[in-house]
Amino acid sequence: MPFVFTRLGLMMRRDFLTFIARPCLLCDQKQNHASGICGPCQNDLPWLARACPRCGIPWRHHTGAYNCFHNPPIFNHCQTAFAYDFPIKQLILEFKESGNLAAGRALATCLALRLGLASPQHPLPDLLIPVPSSWQKQRQRGYNPAALIAKDLARALNRPWTSGLIKAHPTQQDRKHQSRQQRLNDVTNPFYLNRTRAPCHIAIIDDVVTSMATANQVAAKLKAAGYHRISLWALARSLPPNTPNRSNSIDD
């Protein structure tokens, strides 16, 4: 029954918001979509399709260092809504670095609509947890972007969420400027579990999936504590270097 209630909740929220005309976040035209992004602009977004269900990389790029069959991630399933491409990249940066919470809410709504189409192979989880933010970043921003995404997803999909299950050590280093290889080579795990009660299925929530190093570290702590079914949900998936724009969108 969770799938029925999820679809019903999304439909009710969408129907309510259709009565409110607001400027589109991208083109400023009046619109009444639940996401805050008008239909034509939504159609132009780089929706991700035909990707590996384990790591989220589009199949056409699932080769070489980006082939997860040789080095599978610790989590079981990855679902993202978009390629980390224009204008998603700009919206996420505004959300994370400039306090544009409306952009984060809009993208989380888009992801929720994609996730609402649950299936027996990938049912909705029992609990959502955001990737923790370091206290330095949280103090600088005033919020943890992943926690706001988790909150919006939990509301839209009628799932519980918590930011208290896993925490970041105070010494956690900012990886923003690290390369993919530097992230993969960093074997220190900056996270620790704050509780041990384990639901059967848990979803890690983040803004962007890049090297998967952070998600793997969070998943490793969860697996060690007895969480055996772990999904990774994020707004966007970064692409291999030199990937042409729109080369892995849903229209391919």
Highest-pLDDT range among 9-23, 156-170, 185-199: 156-170
- pLDDT band at residue 121 under the 50/70/90 scheme: low
Q: What percent of the chain has pLDDT over 70?
A: 75
Confidence (pLDDT) at 38: 94
In a domain, residue 38? The reply is no
In a domain, residue 153? The reply is yes
Per DSSP, what are the bridge partners of residue 236?
82, 208
The residue assigned the tokens 């991630």 is 73
Cα dihedral across residues 48, 52, 57, 58: positive or negative: negative
Q: Which residue has the higher pLDDT, 236 or 11?
A: 236
Q: What is the per-residue pLDDT across 176-199, written as a single tens digit (0 to 9) for each?
A: 555 555 554 444 666 766 665 666
Lowest-confidence range among 81-90, 109-118, 181-190?
181-190
Q: Where are the alpha helices (DSSP H) in the chain?
A: 2-17, 39-44, 88-97, 101-115, 135-141, 145-157, 180-185, 213-224
For strands 230-237 and 77-83, give the pairing: parallel
Lowest-confidence range among 41-55, 120-134, 144-158?
120-134
Using an 8 Å Cβ cutoff, are 174 and 140 in contact?
no
In a domain, residue 20? The reply is no
- pLDDT band at residue 79 under the 50/70/90 scheme: very high
Residue 182 to residues 45, 131, 175, 188, 230: CA-CA distances in angstroms? 30, 19, 9, 12, 25
In a domain, residue 32? The reply is no
Give the CATH number for residue 192.
Answer: 3.40.50.2020
Is the pLDDT at 4 greater than 60? The verdict is no
In a domain, residue 193? The reply is yes
Is the pLDDT at 251 greater than 50? The verdict is no
Q: Which residue has the higher pLDDT, 19 or 241?
A: 241
* Buried/exposed 167-176: b ≥16 CB within 10 Å, e otherwise: bbeeebeebe
What integer is the mean pLDDT of 47-70?
91
* Six-digit token string for 127: 């609990």
In a domain, residue 24? The reply is no
Q: Rounded distance, CA 161 to CA 136, Å?
A: 23
In a domain, residue 26? The reply is no
The residue assigned the tokens 């059967």 is 200
Domain that holds residue 193: 48-237
Q: Rounded distance, CA 176 to CA 186, Å?
A: 13
Q: Rounded distance, CA 215 to CA 208, Å?
A: 10
In a domain, residue 90? The reply is yes
* Six-digit token string for 72: 């599978």
Is the pLDDT at 250 greater than 50? The verdict is no
What integer is the mean pLDDT of 163-174?
70
Q: What is the per-residue pLDDT across 204-230, written as a single tens digit (0 to 9) for each?
A: 999 999 999 999 999 999 998 888 899
Number of independent structural domains in the chain? 1
Q: Is the pTM of this model over 0.75?
A: yes
Q: Which residue has the higher pLDDT, 88 or 121?
A: 88
